[in-house]
Structure 1
Amino acid sequence: MTISNNALSGALAAQAALNVVSQNIANSQTKGYTRQGVLLVAVPPQSGQLSGGNGVQIGSLLRFSDSYKSQQMWRANSDLGQRSQVQPYLTQMEKVMSDDKSSISYGIDTFFKALNAAGVDPTSSPLRQAVITAADSMSQQINSIYNVTANQLISVQQQQNAILPSLNESLAGIAALNQQIVAVGASGSNTSALIDQREQLIDKVASQIGVEVITNPDGSAAVSLKTGQPLVVGNTASSINYDTTSGSRVLTATFAGTKFSLDDTKVSGQLGGLADYKANTLLPLQKSISEVAEQMSAKVNAVLTSGLKSDGTPGQALLEFNPTSATGLLQIATGFQTTDLAFSSDGTPGDSGNLQKLIDIKGQPITLTTLGSVLLGDADTQIVGQLGIDSQQNQAQLKTATTIRTQAEDDWKSTSAVNTDEEAINLVEFQNMYQANMKVIAVANSLFDSTLQMFG
């Protein structure tokens, strides 16, 4: 009977809808889960049949997803990854370089104060020793801060290397899921859970490196860098690594046997943030510290070697600059004694003509690659000031990126997340639908029994 068939189809449809509702409720707290629904479609009557129709059927399973909102969430995660990865390094350098007692400025000021104090009695051995001690202390402070930059450089490279295995694993996972989604989708089965897994991997990749994603008609997702190089196409994934065969670290992506060279400062995400910090902040900072040490030592040594000791012999260099050392960039010349300080300009005992030239060095200009011409006494202050500006800018951008990411997640949830209140309403509605159809079946059975009794 048509009435029974209609009611049975309605009961089965309600049962299928209840199954979807129960799946949504069960996963209401599952990270990355996209809510699902059913599309009910009326079955029309057969041609030539005069009836209301042949019941209802499940037209399709719905997956409530907005690709635009997903893309916005991934882009926001890329910016957040870039800014958050860099800030700890900036904060550490800013704190170390601006410390009142361990900064380069403090060391330089202390050295020149010792020189000024020696002017009271240029022949005094304790005052001369104070100059050497201050010079050694200044050297150690410069070395200590330079060593922090060297350690940061190692840490940045280690962190970059640590990101790559996870990144490559995620790319391979996306490619494998692409293959599963295409196969399962072709068989008519539900691919929502597989797509959720893939989108979580894409979100993870986006935090590590900036990506663009295109979903193909067959259900697969094509993932590429913002500059266009492919990362995942179908079931084929790229492998991203640092190539050091040329003697320098070059980021490369190998896809289907073809290797692409990448500018790691432009790839965004955690990897791009680290590379940008290394290239545009850390290495220039290292160079500036080295240039301060080199030019100051050259000026001090030039004045000392042009002067005369108390015994009338030529002076000796006080400082040794070693650009190849991360821990001993600047140090006191081996065996240097208080009597080696050439404070005299004419050889007369007690003369401080050359000492005054040493004191004047603090107000002389030096040339830094990052800042141009600056006074020696102001060089560290300007370096720290620029570092502070970089840190403040990154903090502001990090705050903005965090806000945008939160908003993007909220937008995604408004479409794709499970709302338990809505699902509770759906649960009641489909339960009522099921019970109503079962009553129709009961009525149909009663009518059938009555008909049989008429012929009994």
Structure 2
Amino acid sequence: MADMLGNALSALTSYQRALATTSHNIANADTEGYSRQRVDFATRVPQQMGDLSIGSGVTLSDVRRVYDEFAGQQLRSASGAFSQLDNYYQLASQLDNTLSDSELGLSAALSDFYDSVQNLANDPASLSARQLLLSEAESLSGRFSQFASQLDTLDTDINNRIQASVNDINDLAGQVAKINSSIAEAQGKFGSVPGDLLDQRDQALLKLNELVNISTVEQDDGSVNVFIGNGQSLVLGEKSNSLHTVRSAFEADRLEVSTSTSETGIISDVINGGSLGASLSFRDGLLSDTRNELGRIASAVASSLNDQNAAGLDLYGQRGSAIFAQPAPTAIAATTNDGDATIAASLNDVSALDGRNIAMRFDGTNWQFNDAGTGQSLSNWTGSGTAADPFVIDGVSISLSGSVVAGDRFLVKPTESASANLTVVMSDPAQLAAAAATRSGASSANTGSASISETLVVDPNHPNLTDAVSISFLDASTYSINGAGSYSYAPGEAITINGNTVTITGTPAASDVFSITENTGASGDNRNMLAMADVESLGILSGGSASVKDAVSGLVGDIAVATRSAELNRDAQQNLLTQAQATVESISGVNLDEEASNLLKFQQAYQAAAQAASVANQLFQSLIGAIS
């Protein structure tokens, strides 16, 4: 009877705990990250009675969570990748919408401006057409400024995202460290860890991996160490190490991620994965490239239009003045420099601009130039850095003054601020130079069949551009210029003099004379304005191989491709994430039908054990009654 009662009581205890576990599963059916728990039963050590072994009941050997480590790792990886791609796509979409709008985008703004140039070319003496062109120039300047402002807004948004991500990472790292402490304590006291603690830690690690790519190493006491970047520790057992946001040494409004409160601990360039990695890679990649390329286009627009206007004559008979202020590069000395050197930069050759930022460092003896974005070493520089012999690299002249000491750093941004600084400086529409600066002519006394083309100004800055030039033929195959020299004549071959180019075709006779003179009194001439209308398609960038139109199409196209690619990758990753979630749910999720079945099974077993205990009690009472 004692054996029977002991067996029944062990069953009552075990099934009561099984019922409690089942009810716990039911209660947490909708708890995020909860893994269902299962009870394992085992027989007690039997009692030996002579040659017989009599069972002594049941015991609850384990209450364990149903969890697959591999499936959990797959979910963590898929979730982190989706978070990264989703955040990147959101940012890229904003950038795409800013520049590709059919009515307010970059292409539309330039198209409207060049339409007004063509309109003036059609009526070069019209003051209203001239005023319209200046108005469109103001609008173009305003659009570039607005684009720059929108990129600044996006930059501010990224700063906010970085700060929020760092705060969340620190909170989650602290949670993991606390849970590690509880797990290590449970492991030490009881030799096992409650499944709920493991679920809480796994959920914290999942959310942490959505913010930044992490790696984990499990310790003997059940705790896990968490690392980010190139092995920087975030959690070591029961201790968490906080991340910080610090201001860049070159830009006060740019946040960097650091393991300390100073610039020495910056790890932004090694952080990857998760929403934080996406924010950093987008800012330092697509956003920075877009800002630089937009500035390169603005610089090219200002330079090419100013040069072309200088190649003509305005309504006052004067050489055309600048329409736009030429944006200057940005040059910054690091706030951590020990020397007192200041840096200045100016544009040297717009066609050599390539849109990259230049990092400079002095090692005590030599200068080092690197691509600020990729870190690639640059060797295409000349000069010594003085005002008389400036450094020249990527179309920029750089000079320093003051003392430089080893370790001093500088950053040059040739085009980053050009879009924001593109402003119209011309206010008088009569100063628009529609007429060409020079014209050609043939003497009325010529007897040959040769003719001369209109002049083409190829160097508006030539000091003798408008000086009178006389081309006199000595015979049908040779000519002199201003009475000097003897040059071979080839029909249709370009003749370049004082920044002007002409071609003579046909057969000249001896003593035939052709001239190049200043184009005075030519208010109806539209040659220079026609040339200005063609500037958009001229090869003035990338060493003469790309036009402004090409650059705009390339910029808008690259952003569209990057955005579409991010969208497709995000959607593909969403499917992988859904599959990973389904796999984990199928293994660890609570099935209410199954739990209801277990509840009924354990309830019946509990009731049967209670009945067995009641029978044992009755038998015991009967025995006591018989003895007494």
Q: Please confirm whether the aligned pair reaches a TM-score higher than 0.5, indicating the same fold.
A: yes
Seen in structure 2, the aligned counterparts of structure 1 residues 246 and 429 have a Cα distance that, compared at 3 Å, is same
SS in 1 for 2:325: strand
Name the amino acid aligned to 1:387.
I
1:310 lines up with 2:315 in the alignment:
yes
Following TM superposition, by how much is the alpha carbon of 1:288 offset from its aligned partner in structure 2, in angstroms?
0.7
Following TM superposition, by how much is the alpha carbon of 1:139 offset from its aligned partner in structure 2, in angstroms?
1.6
* Alpha-carbon separation, structure 2, partners of 1:90 and 1:336: 38
Following TM superposition, by how much is the alpha carbon of 1:373 offset from its aligned partner in structure 2, in angstroms?
4.0
Deviations 1:76-125 (A, max 9, x none): 11111111212222222222212222122222222222222222331211
- Alignment match, 2:7: 6
Following TM superposition, by how much is the alpha carbon of 1:449 offset from its aligned partner in structure 2, in angstroms?
3.4
Which of 252, 270, 274 pairs up with 2:275?
270
* Alpha-carbon separation, structure 2, partners of 1:343 and 1:373: 27
Higher mean C-alpha deviation, range 348-357 or range 132-141? 348-357
Matches within 5 A, 1:9-28: 9-28=10-29
Q: Is the 8 A contact 1:110 1:134 kept in 2?
A: yes
Matches within 5 A, 1:76-155: 76-155=78-157
Higher mean C-alpha deviation, range 318-327 or range 411-420? 318-327
Which of 342, 361, 374 pairs up with 2:433?
342
- Alignment match, 1:252: 258
Seen in structure 2, the aligned counterparts of structure 1 residues 446 and 310 have a Cα distance that, compared at 3 Å, is closer
1:377 lines up with 2:549 in the alignment:
yes
- Alignment match, 2:529: 355
- Alignment match, 1:428: 600
* Alpha-carbon separation, structure 2, partners of 1:191 and 1:366: 70
SS in 1 for 2:40: strand
Q: Is the 8 A contact 1:61 1:190 kept in 2?
A: no
Following TM superposition, by how much is the alpha carbon of 1:386 offset from its aligned partner in structure 2, in angstroms?
0.8
* Alpha-carbon separation, structure 2, partners of 1:263 and 1:47: 69
Seen in structure 2, the aligned counterparts of structure 1 residues 254 and 173 have a Cα distance that, compared at 3 Å, is farther
Matches within 5 A, 1:43-442: 43-46=44-47, 50-188=52-190, 191-225=194-228, 227-244=230-247, 246-247=249-250, 249-253=255-259, 261-264=266-269, 266-322=271-327, 328-333=420-425, 336-344=427-435, 345=437, 346-349=519-522, 350-367=524-541, 373-442=545-614
SS in 2 for 1:187: helix
Rg larger in structure: 2
* Alpha-carbon separation, structure 2, partners of 1:209 and 1:296: 41
Following TM superposition, by how much is the alpha carbon of 1:195 offset from its aligned partner in structure 2, in angstroms?
2.1
Q: Is the 8 A contact 1:265 1:276 kept in 2?
A: no
User: If each structure's helix is expressed as a fraction of its own residues, which one has the higher value?
Assistant: 1
- The root-mean-square deviation of aligned C-alpha atoms, in Å, is 2.4
Q: Is the 8 A contact 2:122 2:526 kept in 1?
A: no
* Alpha-carbon separation, structure 2, partners of 1:120 and 1:435: 102
Name the amino acid aligned to 1:417.
G
Seen in structure 2, the aligned counterparts of structure 1 residues 366 and 237 have a Cα distance that, compared at 3 Å, is farther
* Alpha-carbon separation, structure 2, partners of 1:254 and 1:434: 59
* Alpha-carbon separation, structure 1, partners of 2:315 and 2:56: 117
Q: Is the 8 A contact 2:9 2:613 kept in 1?
A: yes
SS in 2 for 1:119: helix
Following TM superposition, by how much is the alpha carbon of 1:285 offset from its aligned partner in structure 2, in angstroms?
0.5
* Alpha-carbon separation, structure 2, partners of 1:363 and 1:254: 51
Following TM superposition, by how much is the alpha carbon of 1:44 offset from its aligned partner in structure 2, in angstroms?
1.8
Q: Is the 8 A contact 1:82 1:271 kept in 2?
A: yes
Q: Is the 8 A contact 1:77 1:207 kept in 2?
A: yes
Name the amino acid aligned to 1:273.
A
SS in 2 for 1:116: helix
Following TM superposition, by how much is the alpha carbon of 1:446 offset from its aligned partner in structure 2, in angstroms?
3.1
Following TM superposition, by how much is the alpha carbon of 1:190 offset from its aligned partner in structure 2, in angstroms?
5.6
Seen in structure 2, the aligned counterparts of structure 1 residues 340 and 167 have a Cα distance that, compared at 3 Å, is same
Q: Is the 8 A contact 1:292 1:366 kept in 2?
A: no
Higher mean C-alpha deviation, range 128-137 or range 304-313? 304-313
SS in 1 for 2:243: strand
Q: Is the 8 A contact 1:253 1:260 kept in 2?
A: yes
Name the amino acid aligned to 2:421.
L
Deviations 1:9-40 (A, max 9, x none): 11111111111111111111222222112211
Higher mean C-alpha deviation, range 56-65 or range 41-50? 41-50
Higher mean C-alpha deviation, range 77-86 or range 171-180? 77-86
Higher mean C-alpha deviation, range 300-309 or range 390-399? 300-309
* Alpha-carbon separation, structure 2, partners of 1:377 and 1:38: 71
Following TM superposition, by how much is the alpha carbon of 1:281 offset from its aligned partner in structure 2, in angstroms?
0.5
Name the amino acid aligned to 1:211.
I
Following TM superposition, by how much is the alpha carbon of 1:420 offset from its aligned partner in structure 2, in angstroms?
0.9
Name the amino acid aligned to 2:231.
G
* Alpha-carbon separation, structure 2, partners of 1:157 and 1:245: 12
* Alpha-carbon separation, structure 2, partners of 1:226 and 1:65: 28
SS in 2 for 1:310: coil
Q: Is the 8 A contact 2:44 2:56 kept in 1?
A: yes
* Alpha-carbon separation, structure 2, partners of 1:384 and 1:173: 44
Name the amino acid aligned to 1:17.
A
SS in 1 for 2:427: coil
TM-score between both structures, scaled by the size of structure 2:
0.68
Q: Is the 8 A contact 1:163 1:208 kept in 2?
A: yes
* Alpha-carbon separation, structure 2, partners of 1:373 and 1:19: 77
1:451 lines up with 2:623 in the alignment:
yes
Higher mean C-alpha deviation, range 211-220 or range 19-28? 211-220
Structure number with higher relative contact order (C-alpha < 8 Å, ≥ 6 residues apart): 1
Seen in structure 2, the aligned counterparts of structure 1 residues 54 and 254 have a Cα distance that, compared at 3 Å, is farther
* Alpha-carbon separation, structure 1, partners of 2:291 and 2:248: 25
Deviations 1:42-88 (A, max 9, x none): 11224675323221111121111111111111111111111121222
Name the amino acid aligned to 2:428.
Q
SS in 1 for 2:257: strand
User: If each structure's strand is expressed as a fraction of its own residues, which one has the higher value?
Assistant: 2
Following TM superposition, by how much is the alpha carbon of 1:315 offset from its aligned partner in structure 2, in angstroms?
1.6
- Alignment match, 2:35: 34
SS in 1 for 2:434: coil
Q: Is the 8 A contact 1:185 1:191 kept in 2?
A: no
* Alpha-carbon separation, structure 2, partners of 1:103 and 1:368: 23
Alignment size in residue pairs: 451
* Alpha-carbon separation, structure 1, partners of 2:245 and 2:617: 74
SS in 1 for 2:306: helix
* Alpha-carbon separation, structure 2, partners of 1:142 and 1:443: 92
